[in-house]
Structure 1
């Protein structure tokens, strides 16, 4: 297949050159035959000799390279045609050669240059009309004038079409590059989304497992019941982490269409959201950080994306409390406004440290929160509280149908 494509491309590239060679050689043969056989009983034209055939060859053979050097070929062809007319040979047989040379200049050179060449070619052809048979001189003048005009206009139009084609090719290439760039940006955005999900899922559950593992190891012999509870919490966290990872893999494999089909409704409904906020609080409480949940305002159904966004921000904020203030108490307040949901996650720890407040690897926490909220037009702020501890505040606008 590749060899066939290469051969086809080579043939297409070579065809114009081969066509010019065939045209030039054929024209020399036909013109020479016409010159030899054309009757001249009244002696209007000079007797045919070797110079006539040589000039015919010099008119047509340079046309084989007309695309490479259009101006040079036109000057050569016009000069030989002028010599041919001046010597008085039968004039008609060289007109086509000069016409093709003029067309090439008009098609490949700037308009002003082509117009000057058209004027020069017309003068050469008008000089040849003196060789016309008696009675048809005016007709010959009109013919060569119209021929030069049509040739120049046709070549100029061909040049403009070629320029439009080049511009279109440039625009097409630009469009292709822009589409590739958009596709790359979409891929990067999707990777960032996946990275946020992985960070939120893994960081939270690993933090819970780490805390509970330490607790279980510490009381393994002295308090078996507490150790057993810690191990149960570890198992539950690991199970939930695996469930969320499987859900993410399903989304990656089958796309969002699966979530819109009836058969996938259960998978979609299992996505984390505020409906699982109590489970999150229990898990964090079991890890040693008591969590108080408060819902205020008039709760309403949130879009799935916004629901997941709020849940992940709360999850990340509580994860940071476990990491940086493991002896603190945490409080989560979710307030439903008329057109927004406002969330506040606070703790009463003594070390006001939160991922994202300092440079380093932990900075991804707050960055991820802000990126999530920014997707839905929301904002995230974080900082120490005057009375001690730390607060993460999230506001997400949620338009509601009235």
Structure 2
């Protein structure tokens, strides 16, 4: 039995249940152990039981009445005086558990006075015995009830304090995350977005000042650079807005990071066209069912294809070919395969510095509980990913921190896109 259930036994809401249990025990004692000798004793016992049962609602009044009933029973020479003392002590315990202040002390004084009145004939010779019995009948229930009450209230205060500390810790964490997002957003805006904007502006100027005699392919490259830079700048602005205030951006409907239903095939085709313009010969087989994919996994598929094709265009070498296959299985899982023939070709330039492309792809796939494999093959480089169908739990667990992947051996060429 845990602590909360034990505390619940002495809660005020359980007073009626406690009274019923105690009354049942005392009735069993009167029927099986200390049977009253006559109708008068049965009447006194019934009155005591009713008063004890009423303690669940009127503890102080029931205690005063039981103290008076105890004096009456002793005066009449009843045999159930010990049972009435137990009932009075239980009622005093109930009063001490439930209330602070003077009422429990006053109730204990009334009960002690009743016990002393019943022993007046033994005074002063039996004074130590009378004081001891008075302390047992009236003092012990008062102390026990007070101890239970203080312990219960201390446990409640400790739980409330722990909840407050947890709430404060959550607020501090949210504040720290907000400050971190603000710092990242500021750096993105002041550094990255500034330079991208400057490059887009310069490419636009170059496009307009080049003479008409320049090769048309140069014009096409400049147009492509201007278009890609403008899209990157728009994405950066959306990202900065999301980092600064995610709630307001989402409420305004401007956080268009997700791919809308049905737009994924067109978005993939746009990425493929960009890779072809960069010199990578790409063939693709895209499952038409992909148009009905949910927006969350659709964005993941789009980002995986973007990163994979960017790595292939960067590392596979000139004239390389790539094959992309994206299909949706019967269990709604998405399977993506990207194979290029550049890794085993002679004359391929050495790879550039390692970035964070593969790490980001692994993290993105791990969010879905999927699997990603990437590495060299006899034909070149192969990337495979599997995104299982979404399972939405009732409470989303915290995602574990992903360990950094081990450094690849020098003999294996790392395929990364620098940030």
Query: Which structure has the bigger radius of gyration?
Result: 1
Relative to the length of structure 1, the TM-score reads 0.49
Q: TM-score, normalised by structure 2?
A: 0.47
